[in-house]
Structure 1
Amino acid sequence: MNALTVLASGGDEFQAPGLELFDFPPLFAGGPEWLTKPVVFAVFASVVVCAFFWWAFAKPKLVPRGAQNIGEIGYMFVRDEIARPFLGKNTDRWMPMLMSLFFLIWFWNMFAVVPIIQFPIASHIAFPAVLALFVYFVKVYLGLRRQGPVKYFTNMIPKGLPLPVYFLLVPIEYLSTFLIAPFTHAVRLFANMFAGHMILAFFSLVGFWFLFEKPTAAGFGVGLVGVLVTIILTALELLIQFLQAFLFAMLAAMYIQSGLEAEH
């Protein structure tokens, strides 16, 4: 494969993109290490989401039009497909949080295919980790407040099982609830955005390299395949970006409900 890529590119070796895609220096020389492109666009997305829904609902009309119409469609989707199936009567109380999570993460993800930005914010583990920890602390707080410190921990364990089973079940249940659940909540979003960005970058670079950077007769077919696969994967990535925002918010609703009411 290495020899073929060298031959197709006219003697120069094609270098696949790597982890340098996720390494961003400070925005300006001497600036703080944390002030990078992902941080700026993460904040930018937050401002856009807040501004849009403020614009949509600041002066609601009986017959919605324009921004209010779009905002209500988004609200009903989150309410009916994410919140209500898990939260039931508690849906309205938690809608602001779930709306914010869903649309913020969706915006973060869509930055991967926006020209110039071309980077999914959630592909940096710090961003989904902060959101997952926030949901986790809300869940634990609600559990301790609504069920009490003792019942919150005992309600996690099913009743009426043989005593030996509890020696195996209790550690597994607590490990799953307090470590694995928040970890997988963050990593699921991060891993999908990270992998999707790497694959898109690889095939788009293949197309650019063999068609524009080092065009040769032998490499034309390879470059054309790279462009076609990039187009197909971009469409698929748009779907995945939406689904990952949906899954993150859905799990948040499920975790909140587990804090509000006993699981067993």
Structure 2
Amino acid sequence: MIALALPASNEEGFVPPTLEDMHLPEILPWGAESGEGFGKQMLLILLSVILIGWFFVAAARKGQMVPGRLQFLGEWSYNFVRNSIGRDIIGEKDFRSFTPLLFALFFFILINNLWGTIPLAQLPTTSHVGTAYALAGIVYFTWIIVGIRKHGLAYFKFATVPSGVPMAILPLVVLIEIISTFLVRPITHSLRLFATMLSGHLIIMLAGAGTSFLLLEAEGLLKPLGVLTLVGGVAMFLFEVLIQVLQAYVFTLLTAIYIQGSLAEEH
């Protein structure tokens, strides 16, 4: 926990971590402006792709009738996404063609969330809003294209004009549906992931910095409080791991729900 803390004190006392502390200097800068270059976030994203690819290739390489531990874990992971998210949400008829997308999203987000709790990495790449926007953008265009392929341009009518609404309030309802479906939905889909990862990591950084300051720098009655912040920090660390897993599941689950809605008949 203390390893997460940046220098927490100076001559003036405790200095809490800020958002800027999460944006480390670029490894390979290529621009004059701050934030331009190949940084730790990009490195971790590339490592996550390599790690996911290696694991599932290794798990499927031998393909034994009686699976070993690695094969069992790989098959169980795949079946979890395929059956618990794809088949249960999209339906038996259509889920197979979307399983690769759901599978890739779940494990990509899961690993990139878990980077925040892995020593030395200690940065959930999804805490940078650009990553969350890119993932939500892929999903956004996917379910719109799926809806158009299924229903043609009539999909936009299905998506924005509920049946059974009185004509007197229909224009208002259609406007609300357009805003909520095509504007608010992709924003909330991305910000839910980004905000939880950013806030959780900041809380862990704050707990680490506070523990470091109280145990090493504080004097008198303040020093024993460092034990309390350490215990609270460990609890928040474990809670953050749970949230990282849940957010990967929720993002993928919502993707399946949006796709299912695009495939559904008019309601």
| TM-score clears 0.5 | yes
Partner in structure 2 of residue 76 of structure 1:
79
Q: Deviations over 1:37-88 (max 9, x none)?
A: 0111011111111111111123322221122100111112212322122111
The SS at the match of 2:260 is helix
CA distance in 2, matches of 1:148, 1:170: 19
Report sequence identity in percent: 34
Partner in structure 1 of residue 143 of structure 2:
139
Distance 1:184 1:29, change over 3 A: closer
Residue 224 (structure 2) aligned to one of 218, 221, 225: 221
CA distance in 1, matches of 2:127, 2:77: 24
CA apart distance, 1:263: 5.3
The SS at the match of 1:21 is helix
Q: TM-score, normalised by structure 1?
A: 0.90
Structure 1: 5+ residue stretches without partners = 1-8
The SS at the match of 2:66 is coil
1:20 and 2:20 correspond: yes
Matched-pair contact (CA < 8 Å) for 1:109–1:193: yes
1:63 and 2:66 correspond: yes
CA apart distance, 1:117: 1.1
CA distance in 2, matches of 1:22, 1:144: 41
CA apart distance, 1:218: 2.6
Letter in 2 for 1:154: K
The SS at the match of 1:155 is helix
More helix by share: 1
Partner in structure 2 of residue 199 of structure 1:
203
Q: TM-score, normalised by structure 2?
A: 0.89
Residue 44 (structure 1) aligned to one of 23, 43, 47: 47
Distance 1:189 1:53, change over 3 A: same
Q: Which 10-residue stretch deviates more, 26-35 or 45-54?
A: 26-35
Partner in structure 1 of residue 261 of structure 2:
258
Matched-pair contact (CA < 8 Å) for 1:147–1:261: no
Partner in structure 1 of residue 163 of structure 2:
159
Q: Deviations over 1:181-227 (max 9, x none)?
A: 11100000000001101111101111111213x14333322211121
Structure 2: 5+ residue stretches without partners = 1-8
- How many aligned residue pairs are there? 254
Q: Which 10-residue stretch deviates more, 234-243 or 49-58?
A: 49-58
CA apart distance, 1:31: 6.6
CA apart distance, 1:34: 3.4
CA distance in 1, matches of 2:118, 2:235: 16
The SS at the match of 1:164 is coil
Partner in structure 1 of residue 6 of structure 2:
none
